[in-house]
Structure 1
Amino acid sequence: KEATLTLMNEQIAKAHEHLKSCHTLVVTLGTAVVYRLKETNLVVANCHKVPQHNFTRRMASVDEITEALSAMVERLHEFNPQLRILFTVSPIRHIADGLEVNSLSKATLRVAVANVNRVYRDFTAYFPAYEIVMDDLRDYRFYAADMVHPSDVAISYIWQSFQAAYFDDASTQAIARCERVMKRLTHRPMTANREIVERFYADTKAVVTNLVKEYPYIANIKEINDLISE
């Protein structure tokens, strides 16, 4: 328990430091349904398998969500004036309570975000991931077998739309190179020949080292940092 708490606090501290110099923060909203812990009357982020009778459940209103997001935006802007906040609404369906509740929940989130963007338009924006799946793709072919999560094809389509909206050609090329490197990092050579395996890892490290020289910020990616630190 103590080790978990220590790890959580360390991650919070890292996020705090990163936010000081971060240029863009993507905030994805999933559901308007909230759970309050009866003991404290505070909204929780995760129930952590605590019995349901310890919580009260309800759907937050547009005004409540607008107020909460506005307070967050103002605090973040005060903390880091250069930060731009990009909101999205997740296309993943929350169907435990039925499609009607899910539809109302997503609509509530969407209106709240529109309210926030209207007031803080100078440093907030909205990317329509939800609308891309619901209105552009519009077909169960673009959902996984559970009919809840977008399929790999849909995810790729959303990612391509995101790149087209926010990245220039140089950024797109850099991302493509990074993606190829990440594939190498997750690849496991299917051979028992030690010389071939060692050559593969040496080549991969050389590629990564050169890429980090061009784009120093990618050293923050854990897999890349682990490799260049060896």
Structure 2
Amino acid sequence: MKLMADITIKGPDQPIEYKEPIMLVGSCFTEHIGNKLQDLKFSVMQNPNGILFDPISVCNSITGYVDKKIYQPGDLFYHNELWQSWAHHSRFSGISDEQVLDQINRSQEAAHEFLSKAGWLVITLGSSFSYRLVESEKPVANCHRAPAQWFRKHLCTIDETIAALDNMMHRLFFFNPGLRIIFTVSPVRHLRDGVVENNRSKARLLEAVHHLVNKFNKLYYFPAYELVIDVLRDYRFYDIDLAHPNYQATEFVLEKFRQFYISVPAQQLMEQVQQIAIARKHRPFQPQTMAHKMFLKGFADKSRKLMEQYAFLDLNEEISYFEQQEQSIHIV
């Protein structure tokens, strides 16, 4: 008896290698992928503007990295006792406008440098709904809990999304000709928009992305949305809000990403790095024992050997942890 629908996943001819820097931009599901890769010591930069959902905000942010845009005091607004940016997530908000601008512009500079050398860009689109300021029609990436009457809710058309992504990629490939892009559509269901509206929103994203992937080289589609919606297809794979995929669903999707989008040598190295990551989280029942001391020494040695073998791998933090823990053990 078949309990899951079959799905065909076609990865790139040249999958991701460990030494290739990866930038990830988009919805909260982007960060599930990014956090996993970061834990396994890939060179990763995630959401330099913070979490973004709609294609207009994603394109504006990436174009800003390419241009190395410098934000000015006039780009901020004051609301709820905080200085905030319509182009950034609330994690950039703060009491001091100077500190907010400094944090934003340092992030812009770092993103510009990272993107210029990146081998991959992962873009996860979450919703076709874009919010615009009523007084100026300016698109906003985050409403920052401002009054609803400040905004007009706009459902981007397929053509509008294609045009925004197409223009952004033209600038991007001129900036970094070797870059390759992986598109995904987030399986997070935006139920506050309504079930019907959420499906319309996702359908427009899917159509726009597939139009571009079929049209250009160096673009790929990873079916995170279909893996949750059509393959798992059960509310037991969602959190209590029935909107966000739970741990099991996320791990299932990440395993498929690893299988089809990461090179075989990189997958083998991932397993070794994963062992080190698990060892670091290990909490022994009897820490003041020779056995635990040898355990720590063994993984410190293993980390050093991996770094010697793979120059691009940075395990200094893990080595420092194992050595400090080992030195704290005093056997009587």
TM-score (norm 1): 0.85
RMSD: 2.5
Match of 2:312, SS state, is helix
2:224 to 117, 121, 129: 129
Matching residue's letter, 2:265: A
Instruction: State how far apart, in whole Å, the 2-side matches of 1:21 and 1:119 are.
Output: 25
Instruction: State how far apart, in whole Å, the 1-side matches of 2:142 and 2:182 are.
Output: 23
Q: Is 1:36 aligned with 2:164?
A: no
- Higher-RCO chain (CA-CA 8 Å, sequence separation at least 6): 2
Could you list the per-position Cα deviations for residues 40-67 of structure 1 after superposition, in whole angstroms to 9, with x for gaps in the alignment? 4221111222222222112111111111
Instruction: State how far apart, in whole Å, the 1-side matches of 2:281 and 2:168 are.
Output: 36
In structure 1, the partner of 2:3 is none
1:152 to 232, 238, 247: 247
Q: Is 1:66 aligned with 2:162?
A: yes
Match of 2:191, SS state, is coil
Matching residue's letter, 1:168: S
Match of 1:217, SS state, is coil
1:141 to 211, 228, 236: 236
2:312 to 210, 213, 217: 217
1:101 to 184, 197, 203: 197
In structure 1, the partner of 2:122 is 26
In structure 1, the partner of 2:278 is 183
Moved more, 55-64 or 207-216: 207-216
Hey, which of these two has a bigger chunk of helix by percent?
1
Q: Please report how far the alpha carbon of residue 73 of structure 1 lies from its aligned counterpart in structure 2 after TM superposition.
A: 1.2
Moved more, 106-115 or 145-154: 145-154
Moved more, 164-173 or 27-36: 164-173
Give structure 1 stretches of 5+ with no counterpart: none
In structure 1, the partner of 2:10 is none
Could you list the per-position Cα deviations for residues 113-136 of structure 1 after superposition, in whole angstroms to 9, with x for gaps in the alignment? 01211222x111101110111111
In structure 2, the partner of 1:14 is 110
Moved more, 152-161 or 180-189: 180-189
In structure 1, the partner of 2:172 is 76
In structure 1, the partner of 2:78 is none
Matching residue's letter, 2:309: E
Instruction: State how far apart, in whole Å, the 1-side matches of 2:281 and 2:134 are.
Output: 44
Instruction: State how far apart, in whole Å, the 1-side matches of 2:135 and 2:292 are.
Output: 56
Instruction: State how far apart, in whole Å, the 1-side matches of 2:145 and 2:296 are.
Output: 41
Match of 1:26, SS state, is strand
Q: Please report how far the alpha carbon of residue 77 of structure 1 lies from its aligned counterpart in structure 2 after TM superposition.
A: 0.8
In structure 1, the partner of 2:18 is none
Instruction: State how far apart, in whole Å, the 1-side matches of 2:125 and 2:141 are.
Output: 12
Give structure 2 stretches of 5+ with no counterpart: 1-95, 322-332
Instruction: State how far apart, in whole Å, the 2-side matches of 1:143 and 1:10 are.
Output: 36
TM-score (norm 2): 0.61
